[in-house]
Amino acid sequence: MSTRQATPRFSEREERLLASLTAGGAGTYALIGGLLAVFLWGLVAYATQLRHGLGVTGLRDHVLWGVYIANFVFFIGVSHVGALMSAILRLTGAEWRRPITRMAEAITFASLLMGGLMPLVDMGRPDRLLNLVRYGRLQSPILWDLLSITTYLTGSTLFLYVPMIPDLALLRDRYAAGPAWRRRLYTLLSLGWQDTPAQRHRLELIMRVMAVIIIPIAVSVHTVVSWIFGMTLRAGWNSTIFGPYFVSGALFSGAAAVITAMAAFRWAYRLEDYITEAHFRRMGYLLIALGLAYGYFTFAEYLTPAYKMATAERGYLTAVFSGPFARLFWFTQLTGILLPLLLLTLPRIAWVPRLHRVPLLRPRPALAAAATYAVASVVLSAASPSLTMAGLNLNQWIPPWVLPTLAVWLFLAFLPVFHARPITAAVVASLLVNVGAWLKRYLIVVPTLLNPFLPIQRAPAGWAVYQPTWVEWSITAGALAGFLLIYIGFSKLFPIVPIWETREAPESREAAVQEGIVGVAAV
């Protein structure tokens, strides 16, 4: 480990790993500026909500939770994988984890901060927040949630911080380019680290302890989040498997977020030697396993009530399967679970490149057909009134089987492309997983509230539907921008790839290099 007496310059390897701190062109500033603008717009929307009350949102007496609580469940879910994955891989000695653990742990930190704010945003009177503690019932899952999230935030911050100490000491000793406050920060946070045997022993002890304890905490947090729903007598929420269902969904979306972050940092800071294709392959395996588990839980969660179709739950199930939420529901199942799994598995089949030999199964004809379909749909929709008046039925012009056929055609045409570019396949799959995950949270929250056991009555007609307003969408966009700003800000202050952990040679280093898990430059 480096000390104050060591050479004051970074090695070439260290400079590459510190690129996120030093590099920053016009693109970076434009990205940060854009995110800041969105975040500030979100603040303006929140100020509007504070000033005029929750009446400016689509929330009413019946749908009292909407987009905000969907955001809350989504962010808390994404926060899962960082600490959990890192802890499990640490305890099992998986060496390939080393370059990606910190970016996973930082996702936990950033998403917990934004997720924790969402219930506050959902409160019409946040000035009464203290009442939750003063008058909260210890028997209520809401208070359990407050306690578990606070505990998890503290634990995951420690879990992120402790392995950073040797890197902070390195920055303290050698980072001279930045402003003085940075060096003071590194000096403060590095806790006088000199890499003595006693310090190293204690650091390793802390990491072992934290890795063990953070696993049950992480699992319990999302279980408690699920209990907020599961402990009510409501159609769609009254379930005994909501705990594991939520945990599996959280791990699935969190692993996808880590893949997206890996690809972004690899691309932005040229970290190809450290975040290799093998990392994406392994994370892909993890995503497949988690996706299958999540798919299983989803199936079990819906099959049980759908098989019985009890009177009280019929309205809710009909709304989700074939009613107003059907398109969204089937979209999340197909695009958020099935398609990512297919993207991660099918391109690995050996004969996939041969598909290009078939002229029709090349990207260009498939794309041309998709574009024709899109144009035809737009034109026919625009001409719809006159066509209907002329006695022509649109359904006869574009039969319903055309869209699924096109989707399959496009998928087959792009399979060889994804075979040649496995990282692109992993990133596309992970983005689809996260979009699907957010939509699924929305589907967990809203349809149940719109289908209470006692019918909505003696209420204005508009209260029986939920339509999020610009305020809610703006705050949601602001929260996402805030999450990204915290994450980028973290990577601008601290090394996003652990320097000392990737330097320390594991016993199986050579084997790892041969396997392609650790690039040659990392050794």
Give the contact letters, 21-50, x = binds to another protein (CB under 8 A), - = no: -----------------------------x
The binder of another protein chosen from 15, 22, 91, 151 (CB under 8 A):
151
Contact 138, 145 (CB under 8 A): no
CB of 227 to another protein, least distance (A): 12
CB of 193 to another protein, least distance (A): 6
**What is the footprint of another protein within residues 212-271 (CB under 8 A)?**
213, 217
C-alpha torsion 460→464→465→471, nearest 10: 60
Helix 422-450 crosses helix 67-91 at what angle (to 10 degrees)? 140
**What is the footprint of another protein within residues 425-484 (CB under 8 A)?**
none
Q: Give the interface size with another protein as a residue count (CB under 8 A).
A: 32
CB of 241 to another protein, least distance (A): 20
Residue 451, classed as helix, strand or coil, is coil
The binder of another protein chosen from 11, 154, 232, 322 (CB under 8 A):
154
Stretch of 83-91, 147-155, 396-404, 439-447 lying at the interface with another protein (CB under 8 A): 147-155
Residues 6+ away with beta carbon under 8 Å from 5: none
CA distance 95 to 211: 15
CA distance 256 to 47: 33
CA distance 518 to 273: 7
Contact 394, 340 (CB under 8 A): no
Q: Does 142 bind another protein (CB under 8 A)?
A: no
Residue 57, classed as helix, strand or coil, is coil
Residue 222, classed as helix, strand or coil, is helix
CB of 160 to another protein, least distance (A): 13
Structure tokens at 411: 């998928």
Query: In the complex with another protein, which residue's Cβ is closer, 193 or 490?
Result: 193
Structure tokens at 220: 């319990």
CB of 198 to another protein, least distance (A): 5
Query: In the complex with another protein, which residue's Cβ is closer, 121 or 257?
Result: 121
Type of residue numbered 157: T
Structure tokens at 388: 């209907």
Type of residue numbered 293: A
Query: In the complex with another protein, which residue's Cβ is closer, 137 or 327?
Result: 137
**Exposure on the CB side of residue 424, measured as CA atoms within 13 A:** 9
Query: In the complex with another protein, which residue's Cβ is closer, 209 or 368?
Result: 209
Q: Does 205 bind another protein (CB under 8 A)?
A: yes
The binder of another protein chosen from 199, 238, 345, 377 (CB under 8 A):
199
The string of DSSP letters for 75-135 reads: HHHHHHHHHHHHHHHHHTT-GGGTTTHHHHHHHHHHHHHHHHHHHHHH-S-GGGHHHHHHS
Stretch of 82-90, 144-152, 266-274, 489-497 lying at the interface with another protein (CB under 8 A): 144-152
**What is the footprint of another protein within residues 177-196 (CB under 8 A)?**
191-194, 196
The binder of another protein chosen from 26, 180, 198, 520 (CB under 8 A):
198
Contact 107, 261 (CB under 8 A): yes
**What is the footprint of another protein within residues 159-178 (CB under 8 A)?**
162, 165
Query: In the complex with another protein, which residue's Cβ is closer, 147 or 465?
Result: 147
Q: Does 209 bind another protein (CB under 8 A)?
A: yes
Residue 4, classed as helix, strand or coil, is coil
Q: Does 6 bind another protein (CB under 8 A)?
A: no
Query: In the complex with another protein, which residue's Cβ is closer, 159 or 466?
Result: 159
Stretch of 112-120, 204-212, 368-376, 400-408 lying at the interface with another protein (CB under 8 A): 204-212
Query: In the complex with another protein, which residue's Cβ is closer, 233 or 350?
Result: 233
Q: Does 52 bind another protein (CB under 8 A)?
A: yes
C-alpha closest to that of 94 among 335, 285, 338:
285
Stretch of 114-122, 208-216, 386-394, 496-504 lying at the interface with another protein (CB under 8 A): 208-216
Residues 6+ away with beta carbon under 8 Å from 297: 241, 244, 245, 248, 249
CA distance 261 to 243: 27
**What is the footprint of another protein within residues 122-141 (CB under 8 A)?**
125, 127, 137-139
CB of 490 to another protein, least distance (A): 20
Query: In the complex with another protein, which residue's Cβ is closer, 35 or 146?
Result: 146
Query: In the complex with another protein, which residue's Cβ is closer, 155 or 291?
Result: 155
Stretch of 22-30, 59-67, 143-151, 460-468 lying at the interface with another protein (CB under 8 A): 143-151
**DSSP-assigned letter for residue 336:** I
Type of residue numbered 329: F
**DSSP-assigned letter for residue 335:** I
Q: Which residues bind another protein (CB under 8 A)?
A: 50-53, 125, 127, 137-139, 144, 147, 151, 154-155, 158, 162, 165, 191-194, 196, 198-199, 202-203, 205-206, 209-210, 213, 217
